Amino acid sequence: MSNFDYLLHGFGIALSGYHVLLMLAGVLLGILVGVLPGLGAPNGVTLLLPLTFTMEPISAIILLTSMYWGALFGGSTTSILFNIPGEPSSVATTFDGYPMAKQGKAAQALTFAFCSAGIGALAGVILITLVSGWVASFAMQFSPVEYFAVYLLAFASFVGLSGAAPAKTLLSIGIGLACATVGMDTISGAMRLTYGTDELVRGISFLVAVIGIFGIGELLLTMEEGLRFNGVASRLSVRAILSTVLQLPRYALVYVRSIVIGCWMGVTPGGPTAASFMSYGIAKRMSRRGSNFGKGEPEGVIAPETADHAAGSSAMLPMLALGIPGSATAAVMMGGLLIWGLTPGPTLFAEQPDFVWGLIASMYLGNVVAVFTALLTVPIFAAILRIPFAVIGPVIVIVCVTGAYTVASAPFDLWLLLIFSVVGYVFKKLDFPLAPLVLAMILGDKSEDAFRQSMLLSDGSLGVFWSNPLAGGIMTLAVIMLLLPVIGPLWRRLRSR
């Protein structure tokens, strides 16, 4: 069967009444998560994950991905109406979205944002449809040697491409790998870093860590900033929406450029936040109306929203095809697949085609549902933000604590939740990247197993990683990525001279 035939079969699965209802419920929950400060897509997906353990995997992943799309739309709503980015990737949208709203163009700004988000997300899903099968078939040739090379490339890409300080990124990865080693050694069966306590034998749950880092850690920052919700009134009329939609073709070049940036940053570990800022900066530099950016320019809303959602959807490609998540949310979803007994990677396409193509088809439908749902529910969710934060804050804490406890019903997890909440707060204050830490916790066991298996195959020789062109090419690229923060400044100095 071709990818198109598989996709049609996937639509047959995704279009069932039950799954359409799950999409709608997921989008509504996601918009709520995106609107509420202190929550976000990674934490929302993490909190919902324990509730999916009794569901079929395809139904569970449809619910989670729909929540993800909804959270991104919710973040856009607060950015435009309240100048409060509900998601880190929505920060760039505030630059021109909020000025547009203050000028009485809230309907136009929201329509530009939601339509651009839908276009960007659909472009990312089309990319997954076209190349995921080829990537999975190619990855079927991988042995432990190639898999370790790919894992190393994933970590090295964060160092070379994420834009954060390399030392901070390496420290974040190191902490994540250390957390992944706690518990039983999967090869020897020995206990590691348990310090004589039975509580750590089962390891550190990445779900508890993510809830603490992205949930309560973000909430502490929100409390420190003392947010006040002074929003712009929003009323969306059909006439305003249609007139704005008719203006979209004039920004075709902005869409194409932002889609390319978003898809590239989604497949690599750049992520949606970096994609939105990069797209905004390039749009400002290349636009004839660059001087108007920051004052309510439509291109300043279209560019970051398109790139943000293109990156968010295309980040699912490396997660599904290679087992390497391209964003923090994709990492959480990958953890869900492992809990459900599914192994992300090339074998997933061969062993679970209904799951993979049902998911891809649901991504098409879920984004369309998210666009219309977001447009219809803007006034409702905007009203939620007028509730005092003194009421919203404790509710978020209760949700986070309940979600962490339900992972394993272990009181010790609440102490871990507290520890990771402090870690999340400190990392944010010191501008440490969090996505590499989550990625390392997810891939730590896999990368260690692949490395040790490679060493057993080669009798301890590191030369095995350059024993064939495929592994050698990937390892060389990983080394270049690790050295990029050093090579880049040297190259710029030489050019300036």
Q: Give a yes or no: residue 357 inside a domain.
A: yes
* DSSP letter, residue 198: G
Q: Which residue range is the domain that position 70 belongs to?
A: 3-141+203-227+237-466
Q: Give a yes or no: residue 111 inside a domain.
A: yes
Q: What is the pLDDT at residue 226?
A: 61
Q: What is the pLDDT at residue 384?
A: 63
Q: Give a yes or no: residue 490 inside a domain.
A: no
| Most trustworthy range by pLDDT among 61-75, 153-167, 266-280 | 61-75
Tens of pLDDT, residue by residue over 229-238, are 554 555 666 7
More confident residue, 309 or 234: 309
Tens of pLDDT, residue by residue over 243-296, are 888 888 888 898 999 999 888 877 765 567 767 877 887 888 787 877 778 788
Q: How many domains does the chain have?
A: 1
Q: Give a yes or no: residue 33 inside a domain.
A: yes
Q: What number is the average pLDDT over the span 308-334?
A: 78
Q: Give a yes or no: residue 253 inside a domain.
A: yes
- Residue 153 clears pLDDT 60, i.e. is over it: yes
Would you say 131 and 318 are in contact if contact means Cβ atoms under 8 Å apart? no
Closest among 329, 403, 316 to 359, alpha carbons compared: 316
Q: HSE (CB half, 13 Å, CA atoms) of 199?
A: 10
Would you say 204 and 333 are in contact if contact means Cβ atoms under 8 Å apart? no
Nearby residues of 240 by Cβ (< 8 Å), 6 or more positions away: 107, 108, 111
- Would you place residue 183 in the very low, low, confident or very high pLDDT band (cuts 50, 70, 90)? confident
User: Global pTM?
Assistant: 0.71
Cα distance between residue 369 and residue 359, in whole Å: 15
Cα distance between residue 359 and residue 355, in whole Å: 6
In this structure, the chain runs to a length of 497
**Coil, strand or helix at 287:** coil
Q: Give a yes or no: residue 232 inside a domain.
A: no
Q: Give a yes or no: residue 491 inside a domain.
A: no
Strands (E), 126-242: 183-184, 191-192
Two tokens, residue 412:
């010790």
Report the phi/psi class of residue 345: left, alpha or beta, with left for phi > 0 and alpha for psi in -120 to 50.
Answer: left
Q: What is the pLDDT at residue 161?
A: 65
Beta bridge partners of 192: 183
Q: What is the pLDDT at residue 256?
A: 92
Q: Give a yes or no: residue 493 inside a domain.
A: no
* DSSP letter, residue 186: T
- Would you place residue 197 in the very low, low, confident or very high pLDDT band (cuts 50, 70, 90)? confident
Tens of pLDDT, residue by residue over 344-388, are 777 777 778 888 888 888 888 888 888 888 777 766 766 665 667
Q: What number is the average pLDDT over the span 72-87?
A: 72
Closest among 448, 459, 397 to 186, alpha carbons compared: 448
More confident residue, 58 or 326: 58
Tens of pLDDT, residue by residue over 400-458, are 787 777 767 788 888 888 998 898 888 888 888 877 887 788 778 878 888 888 888 88
